Amino acid sequence: MESLGTFGEVDCGVPIRDFFSQFDKNSKEDDAGGVPSKAKQKKLARESAALSENQLPCEAGSSIFLRHDPDRFDRMRAVITGPGGTPYSGGCFVFDVYFPAGYPEKPPMVNLDTTGGGRVRFNPNLYADGKVCLSLLGTWHGGGMEEKWDAKKSSLYQVLVSIQGLILVDDPMFNEPGFDGIRGTTEGDMKSREHNEEIRLYTVRHAMIAHLKKPRAGVEKVLTEHFRLRKWTVMREVLSWCKEAGDPTVQKRMWGAARELSQLLAAL
C-alpha cells in the first residue's frame, strides 16, 4: 500500500463528480464568490506539503489515504481502513472533505460516504446521513476547549486521525452519551457484544462488499489494492466473526455475506 502514497491526486485523474451534494453546492457558491482568501490558500498549501511527506499513518492495522481533485486542494476524498480488533476491522470507510471559504477560521467539513445508501449508522458519532460528530469539526459540543478547532494549530490530519482513533473503536456503543455508565458491567458487556455483531455485519456488507462491487470514484486504486493485499487477513477475520456471532439471525446473515465476500476477493 505504501507504493500508492497516502496523499495525492484522485486515482481517476478527473474531478470527483459524485462529491457529497451539499459540499458540491458549497464549493460552487464559494467559487462564485471569487478567488479564495489568502489565508485559506496559505493554510491549504502548508497542510498539503505536510501530507505529501507521508504524514498519514499507513500500517497493517489501519491506514488513512487522502486524495484531492486535480489542481484544487479544497475538495478531497479520504479512506480510513478499520483498525484491527474493532468491529470495523478490514473495512474501508470513505469520507468526503471540503474546506469552506472561511477556512482556517472555520474547520473543514467532513461527510461519511459509507452508509449503505443512508441506511446504516456505524457509530453514535457517524450518522446514517453521513454526519460526523467530532469536537474538532464543531459538530459535537462535548469535550474541553483543547478538543475544539484552533485555526492556528488544528489540521485535517488531526481530524482524520481522531476519526480513526476515537470513533472507529473496539466498543463503539459506549461512544453514545449515557452508555459509559454500564461499561464493565454484565449488562454493558452483553449489549456491547450484540451491538458489535450488528456493526460487523454492516462492515462486511457496506465497507467491504459494496466497495469491491463498485469502488468509489477517486479512490478506486486504494480500495482495490487494500483488498487485494489483505484478502486472506480480511477473510480470516470475517470467518471468525461468523463463528462468534451469538444471535442466530445475525450469524445466518453473516455467513451469507462471508460467502459473497469470498467470491469477490477470490476474483482479485
> What amino acid positions are annotated as catalytic residues?
133
Q: Which residues of 163-183 are buried (b: 16+ CB within 10 A; e: fewer)?
A: bbeebbbebbbbbeeebeebe
Q: What nine digits make up the cell of 245?
A: 456471532
Q: d(Cα 88, Cα 199) in Å, to the nearest integer?
A: 7
Contact 111, 27 (CB under 8 A): no
Instruction: Tally DSSP H helices, then E strands, for the chain.
Output: 7, 5
Give one DSSP letter per residue of 169-219, joined into a string: -S-GGGGSTTTGGGTTSHHHHHHHHHHHHHHHHHHHIIIIIHHHHSPPTT-
Q: Residue 255: CB partners within 8 Å, gap ≥ 6?
A: 242
Residue pointed to by grid coordinates 458489535: 196
Residue pointed to by grid coordinates 476477493: 265
